[in-house]
Amino acid sequence: MVVKQVIAGLVAALVLCVALPLGAQTKISAAQVYVFDIPELPIIDALKEFTTQTGLLVSFWPDAQTDQAMMVGPLRGKHTAEAALTRLLATSGLAFQRTNDRSLVVMAPSLLSTPRNGGTPSERDRTKQAEAKPNLRDQSSSPVAEHLVAAGTPGSAAKDPEYSRDPMDEIIVTGSRIERSGEGPAPVQVFTRETFERLGASTVQDVLRYTPQQPFTRAQHFYQSGSEYAQMRGIGVDTTLILINGRRVVPTSNSLVLNAFDLNTIPLAAVERIEVLSDSASAIYGADAMGGVINVVTKKEIPQPVIDAHYGGAEGGGESLRSSLSAGFTTDRLRSSLILDYFEQDFLFGSERDRWSNQDYTRYGGTDYRSMAGAPGTVRSVTGQNLPGLSSSFAMVPEGSTGIGLTPADFVATAGMRNRTSTLSTSSVVPSAHQRSAAAFAEYDLTSDLTAFAHVLYTNRDTISQDEAYTVQNAPVPVTNPFNPFGQPVLVDVLLTGMPARQFVHGLELTRGVAGLRGWLGSNWEWEVAATASSETDDAYAVNQVSAARVAAALASTDRASALNPFVDGPAGSPELLASLVTPNVQHHFSRGRQLSGFMRGSLWHLPSGTISAVLGGEWRDESVIYGDLTQSVDDGRDVKAAFAELSVPLLSSAPYGKGDVLAMSVAARLDDYSDFGSTLNPQFGLTWRPVADLLLRGSFGTSFRPPSLYELRSPRMTAANVPLNDPARNNVLTNVTLVAGGNADLQPIEADSMTAGFVLTPSEIPGLRLLGNYWKIHTNHRVTVLHFSTLLRNEDAFNDRVVRAEPTPADAAAGRPGQLLQLDVSRMNFGRLTTSGVDVEASYDMATSFGTITPRVSATWVDEFVAIDVPGAAPVDRVGIAHSSGSIPRWRVVGSLAWNRGGVGLSTTIDWRPVYMDANTNGLTGRRLPARTLVDLQGTLALDQLFAPNRLWEDFKLQLGVKNVFDEQPPFADIGFAVGFDTSQGDLAGRFGYMKLSKGF
């Protein structure tokens, strides 16, 4: 019903989108649109023409100096004043701000004020300008990319429906703590609040699903904890570094085995933007930044209180509700914000989807994955001979059977019949979740040169994943069982009915706090010191978990009151007996991180080509984890000390173009010293070159690392004795062997090197157009892996330290064979290499037309290779275009969008495309081609305060209606999914999802 209602609403919105623009003309005139015809002129003359054609006064703030001969324009067509001035100043390096309805002031971007002073430079900013210092900005808030939109202030183009952002309106710091104007050596994607709304996203992962640099994301049911992770380039969830406001996070307590951070712990309502650096950056940020860096920047200033509500659902369940309250308080010295967020999500069960309600995949040419155990169950002979009095070795329990007083004759009609069950029908496609979050930020200017800041994030989340029905399979029922009608031991396969569903509950609590100071030393050097502390707990419960030992004991019981009756069509015992089969299963997980960091940033020397800028800094942090379950426990920690430095060297002056240095080099290095495995040094080099004004060429190279996690190092060593294995060195003789598994204290870091090279084209003749291309390559070595025992035995010479044999007997020596196999060590090891490379492309065009603002965008990733060597001596295996249980790597991933907005009415659509690829299973390719997938999203937006005459009731009121996966495209059947029936890295059974969002400012 939810989806149908939302679709109906969206259709109505589409009708309004066609009808309302004509009726909205009076409202559009309030944001005055002018007809411009300004040829290419020197900047001063162009601004004079701007004044003549608009009647608005444009003035220069003192010291907003520029080359008066600089050419700008041409500018023609219909634009608002803000949109037109944005385009004229795009190549000048200047920004502007409204001072009143009739005046604008042009200034240096560093003086552009925030809303706290009503649109004019603050006293603090004027003081700093007089002292020739750039405006202090929180470097930690944007280590990946900082954006300063020239028109993005109250009363300016930020609220103008005709406004379209030009790429040169931004000051960007890319993978660096050194500020620079324009693009950096490595590519960055930025998802803003506007993007969140256009995508209809309600979580951080919802946003990142549209990043083509991620070749896959897992379906919601994949992790029992309900966690979701980023995985840039597909090289592992533990190789993408997550930052919050520029500071690293520790692995989430429910994800210690994966050494990964759960993105669901960050409420999207608290996020201002998400910055994605698709290049390694260990020289800047340290460990884990092998595949890329994702920086989640939270809101710092909120001009007015806002209430948001987001509700949606899929057919059959999965309904979700998210509501939030955002507010801020601002004075000349204080900037603060508070966000409260609540999220809840209901189950969507497998019974609502054909794939899981019927796991007989022979209808697709696959395997029947229904369980042999059903309700009623199946009885089998122990010897494989026919059951007494029957013509078959197995028979189904008769339907309607009470299980009491049966004889073999009662099974004659069902001899040779089995009852099978699709156990995934009770599993959750979408888990149930409840989350409560709060985020707060405060920044206070103690003096004009000293600022204190603090940030707090708290999340409490409960997630429930429902498991498949519990089956008893191949279970012996002795002749002494009071319900056994066959007079001999038999085997049973039966589904235990009459019991509550098995569920896994995770109760997670995260608390994270940051406090620090930043200021100036002299006139050229900024500094910052900060302390970060975070702790997470996760208590995991297995609810209604049946003990196999208790089931076996109940089947062997001779007492009718305590014996299971598997020969009944219904519950196999009383509620009390069934309840006694359940065993408690509680796990406690904990992770903690503490960090002290500081850096200085400033100018070293002045060259004819410009100023050499530098950053020097250091960090100390400690990490500790506790992981405890029924079989193993980890309780350990480590300390890390680091020192880092960066240099930015302009090699040629920026004067000719005004878009940044013509030729510039960046150099960075970082030394990390770990208390458990030692030190690692990682350098990084970058180069940017602008041969012509509109074209930037760039490249970078660096090394990176991922240390072995505390779980990988400290997981207890476990042994399993008398495991029967075939020994290939002794003619495959079956031998009882002791297997050793667990952690490995001798593990070393995973190492990687990466490079990127590409271009950015922003043609002046076509304002608003941006084209990007980038080649990338990552090579990793010494990966942490667990090799199968058969691989060890086939490559014994390479792993002879892990294979223990007895001394050869004389007979062995005569036969030329080694001694008897005694032990195999299959614990984690450093082995394996992976190389992946490809090309990222992106194109966007912001067009302000008389019909409204039109914004087409497309981004794509083409993977040339994803070559792994996981077995010694084996040929490299290229996984591109081939399904894989670790995650499939399609050749292409393309995400495109088209947005239109006019007068408070907006439409947007997003398309996510993946090409055909080949299915596989444990035996290799199956010959099945998995079809291309195209997911289409659609959304309509109505901003009522722009549509109608001013009224307090609908001021700052916005309504959004949307549908994800409009055509309800289900993932194709794939052998790689085994019992699940589809590739969980490339699809989701949730299907079409409709939603509605309301937002009201006060």
The whole-angstrom separation of Cα 199 and Cα 206 is 8
- Classify burial at 622, counting beta carbons within 10 Å of its beta carbon; exposed 0-12, middle 13-18, buried 19 or more: middle
* 868 token code pair: 């792994």
The whole-angstrom separation of Cα 198 and Cα 251 is 30
What is the residue type of 406? L
Give the pLDDT score at 133: 39
Q: What does DSSP say about strands 821-825 and 733-741: parallel, antiparallel, or unpaired?
A: parallel
Strand order in the sheet with 821-825: 718-727, 733-741, 821-825, 803-805
- Classify burial at 678, counting beta carbons within 10 Å of its beta carbon; exposed 0-12, middle 13-18, buried 19 or more: exposed
- What is the average pLDDT across 820-849? 92
The whole-angstrom separation of Cα 491 and Cα 503 is 27
Give the pLDDT score at 68: 62
The whole-angstrom separation of Cα 296 and Cα 261 is 12
Residue appearing with tokens 């959304």: 939
Give the pLDDT score at 65: 54
Q: How confident is the model at residue 548 (pLDDT cuts 50, 70, 90)?
A: very high
Is residue 124 predicted with pLDDT exceeding 60? no
* 505 token code pair: 């509950």
Q: How far is CA 24 from the centre of its chain?
A: 39
Peptide bond into 728 cis (omega under 30): no
pLDDT, tens digit, 9 for 90 and up, residues 698-755? 999 999 999 999 999 988 888 889 899 999 999 888 899 999 998 999 999 999 999 9
* 12 token code pair: 């109505």
- What does the mean pLDDT of the chain come to? 85
Q: How confident is the model at residue 45 (pLDDT cuts 50, 70, 90)?
A: confident
Cα separations in angstroms, 115 against 97, 132, 172, 904: 11, 23, 21, 22
CA nearest to 521, candidates 596, 425, 642, 616: 616
What's the CA angle centered on 597, arms 115 and 525, to 5 degrees? 60
pLDDT, tens digit, 9 for 90 and up, residues 626-672? 887 656 678 889 999 999 999 999 888 754 444 555 899 999 999 99
Give the pLDDT score at 18: 35
Q: How confident is the model at residue 808 (pLDDT cuts 50, 70, 90)?
A: very high
Tell me the three state secondary structure of residue 297. strand
pTM for the full predicted model: 0.82
Give the pLDDT score at 661: 59
**Cα end-to-end distance, the chain, whole Å:** 32
**HSE toward the beta carbon, residue 119, CA cutoff 13 A:** 18
Is residue 162 predicted with pLDDT exceeding 90? no
Is residue 221 predicted with pLDDT exceeding 90? no
Secondary structure element (H or E) that encloses residue 791, with its range? helix 789-794
Give the pLDDT score at 108: 67
